[in-house]
Amino acid sequence: MRESKSFGKRKREDSPQREVNIKYILLTEGTETEPQYFEAVEENKIQLGIPPIIKILPLTRSYGEDCWSNPKKILDRLLLNIEESTSDKISYSTLLNAMIECLYYSEYLSKHKEKIPEISRLLERIYRDILKVSPDDFVEDKEATVTKVTEFLAKEKPRICELIIKNIGDALNEQSIPYAPEIDKICLIVDRDPMSFTCSQFDYVKDTCIANNVQFYISNPGFELWLLMHCNNFAGMKEDLAAKFSSMQPPEFIDHIETLLKQEFSGYNKSKLKTQPFIQAIDTAIANEKLFTENIDALKNDIGSNVGLLIQEMRG
């Protein structure tokens, strides 16, 4: 995991005295809609009443993590990355993911997407046969590990090896999460889909977030409900939504919510979200959220969301 490139570019400041920013580091289960939404919140934060001192930094998942949808798995990797960022440790998965990111920097994998399964198999061989480690183990000697892997790749995939050696420094720098535990906030934002997120996993994630000072935000059944709350006439939908939530399976109910979103927001597309209508209606969404539960324990089983509480906290 690393900062999203659209947010991760630091602005140089000429003043010798730098303002201390409070970062809200967001890890979202969704990799399309949620990052677009929170990018728009960051870009429009002054309009939304969020102080300039607040910086909203979504995380982008590294190679091999982008298809993950289970919040427990996502949280465990987040905590591993935080431990790395606040110490001198680095896991084998982070090190090897950085090496694979080099292939994206050079646009090798963007141009040769058919190579991705082959790269995945190659990674498995490196873990199993070359390094003989678990991905979450910590690296004992980073330089020796990089040497061992590049020597292997030089024989197996010389072109890939060349690209990795060229870009590995920058890739490793970007893997670090810029987290200052005394002032920054880490936020996990997920969906409550009981088909992929069991009750026991919910309890684990909630308790682990509390134990590690990670703020836990959830929408039941999904983030689409929070988006629908931006509608002026959401209150009129409440009873029907509650009834359908009880009678429909989660995928069917989310499809129903997306149908309503397309009716309410012309041109709605979760992959290419038109964010301005939502930004302009955030106060409406915060008010509508209170029509259902915002309680984290109740959201385990009941329809609702607590994402609005995050916006309110950012406002101070």
**pLDDT above 70 (res 44):** yes
* Prediction pTM value: 0.83
Interior/surface letters 70-83, b for 16+ CB within 10 angstroms, e for the rest: bbbebbebbbbbbe
Nearest to 207 by CA among 221, 193, 225, 188: 188
Nearest to 60 by CA among 73, 74, 72, 50: 74
Burial class for 316, CB neighbours closer than 10 Å (0-12, 13-18, 19+): exposed
| Dist CA 165 CA 146 (whole Å) | 9
Beta strands in 81-229 (DSSP E): 185-191, 214-220
| Dist CA 205 CA 26 (whole Å) | 15
pLDDT digits (tens, 9 = 90+) for 145-189: 989 999 999 999 998 898 888 888 777 777 778 889 999 999 999
The whole-number pLDDT of residue 298 equals 98
DSSP 3-state of 146:
helix
| Dist CA 138 CA 110 (whole Å) | 29
| Dist CA 103 CA 111 (whole Å) | 10
Q: Are 290 and 234 in contact (CB under 8 A)?
A: no
DSSP 3-state of 3:
strand
- Provide the phi-psi class of 159: left if phi over 0, else alpha when psi is between -120 and 50, else beta: alpha
DSSP 3-state of 185:
strand
Q: Place 2 in a pLDDT band, splitting at 50, 70 and 90.
A: low
- Provide the phi-psi class of 279: left if phi over 0, else alpha when psi is between -120 and 50, else beta: alpha
**pLDDT above 80 (res 104):** no
* pLDDT cut 90: percent of the chain above it: 58
Q: Place 69 in a pLDDT band, splitting at 50, 70 and 90.
A: low
Q: Are 186 and 213 in contact (CB under 8 A)?
A: yes
pLDDT digits (tens, 9 = 90+) for 182-239: 999 999 999 998 887 889 999 999 999 999 999 999 999 999 999 999 999 999 999 9
Degrees (nearest 5) of the Cα angle 105, 31, 208?
A: 110
